[in-house]
Amino acid sequence: MFNSLSERLNDTFDRLRGKGRLTEADIVSAMRDIRMALLEADVNFKVVRDFVAKTKERCSTSEVMDSLTPAQNVVKIVLDELTELLGSTESKLVLGNRIPNVIMLVGLQGSGKTTAAVKLAYLLKKQGRSPILAAADVYRPAAADQLSALGSEIEVPVFRGDGADPIEIARGSIREAVDTMRDVVIVDTAGRLQIDEQMMQEAVDIKRAVKPDQILMVVDAMTGQDIVNVVSTFAERTDFDGVIISKLDGDARGGGALSIRAVTGKPIKFVSMGEKPDSLEVFYPDRMAKRILG
């Protein structure tokens, strides 16, 4: 993902570097290139507009234009602004003091929620925690089997309860955590094809029943622009703490994912880059911005 965006931006920077001193026209032309590159990468239109306006304003100062290395300064400004767009600093997963902590994952069907639940369990386990997974996705056939199979791969127990009532399963998983000395419960809830009344009600009911320390929404980077609507629609109905972007290893353009923070205000906490348990990474805006700028 982002390969062609990286290439386009680097071409623009190379052209600027080749010029030595920069004129106002060079900045205008570079900003046009950057605007096109972002739009073609599928970044939200308003996000692009604001990004280019801010970047242009910062690049057009005499401090930049008259410096000995103006092109370098432009690259630095683009990097800064991209980092800011992605959320500036790392948004940590905040776990409380209570034991067990509860993390609830929500998201549309197929978004990668079950996979993300397992990866998060794996990450926490590596950090010395003792997670347990709760299979509260009772609608998708085989979701609980999938969770059990993946859970046993990473040696994390999976609580399935009666396999029928998501709220009871979530509650039961907390009792199970207490009984078996597990300090984090990760609840995998059921997704739907789209955000509907039933999905929201269930999320609200589970939230009320288990009072999660963190609610994370899993979104699929391959979704394109609509990813932003999915996040805002969910956020309008029930508050949550942050986003996990899955399938960032895919070959979609990915601009929707880059727009999430700026449009919805929700921080990106993790990104998932594959199907293996260890492919969940804490999201660092500066590292992602550097990766995109190559």
* Cβ distance to ligand GDP smaller for residue 175 or 276: 276
Binds ligand GDP (CB under 6 A): choice among 12, 43, 74, 113: 113
Chain residues 119-178 in contact with ligand GDP, contact rule CB under 6 A: 140
| Binding flag, residue 87, ligand GDP (CB under 6 A) | no
Strand order in the sheet with 131-136: 158-159, 131-136, 184-189, 101-107, 214-220, 242-246, 268-272, 280-282
52 or 105, CB closer to ligand GDP? 105
Q: Backbone phi, then psi, for 101, in 5-degree steps?
A: -75, 150
Q: Which stretch binds ligand GDP (CB under 6 A): 11-19, 93-101, 102-110, 121-129?
A: 102-110
Annotated binding residue 226: no
CB of 43 to ligand GDP, least distance (A): 20
Burial of 127 (0-12, 13-18, 19+ CB in 10 A): exposed
Cα dist from 6 to 40, 86, 255, 290, whole Å: 12, 16, 12, 10
180 is in an annotated binding site: no
- Quick one: DSSP state of residue 181? T
- 56 has binding-site annotation: no
**What distance in Å separates the CA atoms of residue 37 and residue 48, rounded to the nearest whole number?**
10
User: Per CB under 6 A, does 189 bind ligand GDP?
Assistant: no
- Name which position in 35, 160, 247, 261 contacts ligand GDP (CB under 6 A): 247
- Cα(234)–Cα(219) distance, integer angstroms: 11
Q: Which of residues 13-72 bind ligand GDP (CB under 6 A)?
A: none
Selected binder of ligand GDP within 70, 191, 242, 254 (CB under 6 A): 191
Report if residue 274 touches ligand GDP, rule: CB under 6 A. Answer: yes
* CA 225 – CA 257 distance, rounded (Å): 8
**111 lies in the site for ligand GDP, by CB under 6 A:** yes
**Which of 225, 242, 217 minimizes the C-alpha distance to 107?**
217
Tokens 């929500």, located at residue: 106
One residue of 109, 225, 232, 238 binding ligand GDP per CB under 6 A: 109
- Does 112 engage in binding with ligand GDP (CB under 6 A)? yes
Residue 55 marked as a ligand binder? no
With CB under 6 A as the contact rule, the residue among 50, 168, 183, 249 that binds ligand GDP is: 249
281 binds ligand GDP (CB under 6 A): no
Residue with tokens 């739009």: 39
Q: Which of 208, 209, 203, 205 is nearest to 188 (CA)?
A: 203
Instruction: List interacting residues with ligand GDP (CB under 6 A).
Output: 107, 109-115, 140, 191, 246-247, 249-250, 272-275
**From the annotation, which residues make up the binding site for GTP?**
107-114, 188-192, 246-249
